[in-house]
Structure 1
């Protein structure tokens, strides 16, 4: 029995629609798995990002002072973590954002408290002002305004924009430390581990936001990746300079105001490499602030020469 032509056409169209929907479902399922994977990786890397300042605070503990360190990155990071938690509660399927930022809030509160404990009076006052401005005033105002002036999807969008701007500020905040590194030519106040983990974290959260189609998450991490690479390059540049300065400091001091008299009452013997090294070692012990009248009597017996040199240097 031959079916009408329009029936064949309908069957073909239904089959195409079926396979198209099946393909979409498979791709969606695949995308969900990748979102979850990058979210978990983002949590793991961000966990180390939040812990990376520990060596810095250990130095503060040993010095009993926060001199040379800034509290701005930690206060801004606390403010950002609080905002992302609020944003995650407004959206759905954002559990991974809530988990890592809750941990971030906890850690940043400890850091700020530790900083306040060892900070000078002036630094302590500045940090408290910053906390009141951002954490209390800023976050409180954002919550109140978004709850009373906006509803539904508009509220989520507005809070997302605020989170985007805040995340950009988090990545820009270390610029004050970068400026200090360039000025002092020292990487003491810019932990390398923090730069590495920030870069990796930016990569993970960028793909998480991209696959989730949430550009409030993806866009700031592009800047985060760029700043992370810049900080690592800066660290390598000035770390090498620090090593060169250290080597220069270890060089033997120049001997100034020394008078060396060589007695020419007998032929001056040709010195071996061993003798030259020994004389240089002994000569480096001479104080640069004193004058010496050093008589070198060189003979074939190097043991006698060494004894005479040591006696002369003990004067």
Structure 2
């Protein structure tokens, strides 16, 4: 029996949900370390703040009155949002005043921005097609911003010729996740999911290339390099 395109898309979407879950849960060891040491060390909250806004926008995008038949997009990003909130709460507890103020300020700005998007979309746009276009463009923008977060660590890898702080399994998960959701988007063309995840897969591929090139770091001299957290989310 030949499966229909919609059935194949559902299967791919379920696989994408599983891959995305592993992607969302991958920072857990970092936060276990933070709780254990009672310090955030040199980790930063920005990737999790970016992921929070990304999840919020994709949840809104996948709602029936914006983009029908996108329950799989809503489900995994809801899980992702829950995990980002936990990560930020742990970070808030174990960081200093500077980052606490930044976390609160950025989260407030994100909520205000989301409220503005929801109000503008629901009051100003009256068809799912027009809502899909506007919210899809915004969700893609924030998704690209999230995927762009690792650029600083990639530059650090090239500069130090060491991939020590570039997580291998996270990069692999990000690559597979981007490929899976790109296939999902192609089966029933969704340019917004395709563009964001296509760029994410490309950036993850660059990380994997760097992991291969700089897999054997040079001997350490003097001060140990700063630890930098890398966090990609679809």
**TM-score interval w.r.t. the shorter chain?**
0.7 to 0.9
SS in 2 for 1:245: coil
User: Equivalent residue for 2:153?
Assistant: 177
Q: How does 1:13-162 map to 2 (within 5 A)?
A: 30-89=4-63, 90-134=66-110, 136-152=111-127, 153-162=129-138
- 1:186 Cα deviation after fit: 5.3
- Structure 2 residue 153 is the aligned partner of structure 1 residue 194: no
* Structure of higher CA gyration radius: 1
Are 2:62 and 2:74, in contact at CA under 8 Å, matched by a contact in 1? yes
Any stretches of 5+ residues in structure 1 without a counterpart?
A: 1-25, 250-315
In structure 2, the CA distance between the partners of 1:133 and 1:103, relative to structure 1 (3 Å rule), is same
Q: CA deviation at 1:223?
A: 0.9
Q: For the Cα contact (< 8 Å) 1:84–1:97, is it kept in 2? A: yes
> If the length of structure 2 is used for normalisation, what is the TM-score?
0.85
In structure 2, what is the equivalent of residue 274 of structure 1? none
- 2: CA distance, partners of 1:154 / 1:141: 16
Q: Deviations over 1:79-124 (max 9, x none)?
A: 1111111111122211111111111111110011111111122222
Q: Distance in 1 between matches of 2:197 and 2:38?
A: 35
CA-to-aligned-CA distance 1:263-299 (integer Å, 9 cap, x gap):
xxxxxxxxxxxxxxxxxxxxxxxxxxxxxxxxxxxxx
State the distance in 2 between where 1:110 and 1:150 align.
Answer: 34
Paired residue total:
219
Paired residues of 1:83 and 1:139 also in contact (CA < 8 A): yes
> In 1, distance between residues paired with 2:213 and 2:195?
28
Unmatched runs of 5 consecutive residues or more in structure 2: 223-234
Are the aligned partners of 1:69 and 1:189 in contact in 2 as well (CA < 8 Å)? no
| 3-state secondary structure, aligned to 2:39 | coil
103-112 or 171-180: bigger deviation: 171-180
Once residues 42 and 203 of structure 1 are traced to their aligned partners in structure 2, the CA distance between those partners, rounded to angstroms, is 9
Alpha-carbon distance in 2 for matches of 1:240, 1:141 = 48
Structure 2 distance, partners of 1:100, 1:179, is 30
Q: TM-score, normalised by structure 1?
A: 0.64
Contact 1:53 1:191 (8 Å CA) reproduced? no
Question: Relative to 1, partners in 2 of residues 1:184 and 1:129: Cα closer, same or farther, differing over 3 Å?
Answer: farther
Instruction: String of CA shifts for 1:13-47, please: whole Å, max 9, x gaps.
Output: xxxxxxxxxxxxx98x6211210111011001001
From the superposition, tell whether residues 234 and 70 of structure 1 become closer, same or farther in structure 2 (CA, over 3 Å).
Answer: farther
CA–CA distance in structure 2, aligned partners of residues 144 and 181 of structure 1: 43
